[in-house]
Amino acid sequence: MKTRSLKRAGLALVGALACWAAGPRAAAQTPADLEIQLYAGLTITGTVGTVYSIEYVTDLAQANTPGAWQCLDYVRLASSPCLWTDTSAPATETRYYRAVQVQAPAGMVFIPSGTFTMGSPADETDRQGDEGPRTAVVMSRWFWMGRCEVTQAEYEALMGNNPSEFRGDSSRPVDSVSWNDAIFYCLKLTQRERAAGRIPPTWLYRLPTEAEWEYAARAGTATRFSYGDDPGYFELLNFGWYEINSGEQTHPVGQKLPNAWGLCDMHGNVSEWCQDWYAASLPGGISVDPQGPATGETRVHRGGDWVYWGNGAAHCRSAYRNSYFPESGYSNFGFRVVLSKG
C-alpha cells in the first residue's frame, strides 16, 4: 500500500495545508514532485487546538473543481505534527488527501472522538445509585456542541415565543422548555441552517445523547467535576450557578469559567435535556456510541441547576443523572444543541 504527499504549491487551495497524500493504491505513474508514503493518510502540521477537515479526491485533475473534495473526518490537533490515517479507504481506490482549517460554526465547540469512563466510582462522595455500573464508552464520532445553553434570544428568534420564567436579560438560558420543545427547536434550526447553506444537507442539529453530554462535560477528566474533585464544593462557585450563588434564578450564559474543552455552564444554571430515554442504571462493560434504551417513560436531563435542593452542589457533578417526562417544562430545565452528521 502506497500513498503520496504532494508539495506542489501551485495545487494547494486556499486554506489547505501544503501537504497532500494519495492512497491506498498507487497510481500508474508517479509525478516527479510526489513523495511516496507507506500509509493511507496525512501528516498535519499546524496550531495545536485547531480543527481541520480531512478531505479527499480520487483524481487530481479534479482538484480545482468545486465540490470535488469529499470530507472524511474532522481532526483537532492535540500535537503538531499529527498523523491522521484513513481506515475507510477501499483497497482498490486511489485517494489524494488534504487538510483544510475549519471555522467553527457560530457558538459551537468541536468535540473530538475518543474514549471515557461513564458514571461514578462506588466511593465518590454524594454518588447516586443510578450512576453505575461504570461503563467504558467509545465515542467513535466527532461532533460540535453549543458552547453555552440555548439563550432566550436564540429561542425566541427561531420559535417566535419565550416560555421562560426568568426574563429581563435575553442572554439568560431559555427555561421552562420541555423535551418536546427542545426537539422541535433542533428541527427548525436544522431547516433554517440548511436552507441558508451554513451546514451540509446531511448534517443536523439535535440534542446530545447522555453519553455525549457526560463525555463533553468531563472534557478528558475522571474527577467529580471537570476541574477536579472539589471535596468541599468551594471551586464550584467559579464554574457554575447553583443554590449557593444563584439567588434562586438563572443567569446569563457564559459568565462562569469553561471546562478544558471550552464549554460553559456544564455544572449548573439550568439542567439540560438529553436525547435518551432514562434507564435506572448504566449499561456497564464496553459500549460504543450508546443511545440509551429504545423506550421509556422519562427523558434524561443533566448538569445541575439554580434550584435550592439542600445539596444542589452534588447535582452539578459530571456523573449526576436525572430525568423527567418529555412533555414537562420547569424553570430549571433548558438545553444545548449538538451539530453532527445525520
93, 24 Cβ separation under 8 angstroms: yes
- CA pair distance 266, 145, nearest whole angstrom: 12
Given the candidates 3.40.50.300, 3.40.50.1000, 3.30.70.20, 3.90.1580.10, the CATH classification of the domain at 108-341 is 3.90.1580.10
pTM: 0.87
Return d(Cα 172, Cα 153) in angstroms, integer.
8
Task: Judge contact between 152 and 164, C-beta under 8 A.
Answer: yes
C-alpha of 169 from chain center: 27
Residue 92 pLDDT: 83
- Tell me where in the chain the CATH 3.90.1580.10 domain(s) lie: 108-341
- C-alpha cell read off for 238: 467559579
pLDDT digits (tens, 9 = 90+) for 212-253: 999 999 999 999 999 999 999 999 999 999 999 999 999 999
Closest CA to 266 of 188, 212, 326, 308: 212
**pLDDT confidence of residue 39:** 65
Question: DSSP per residue over 105-133, as a string?
Answer: PTTEEEE--EEEEES--TT-TT--GGG-S
Residue 297: predicted pLDDT: 98
Q: Which residues of the chain have pLDDT under 70?
A: 1-39
| Calpha distance 295→302 (Å, rounded) | 19
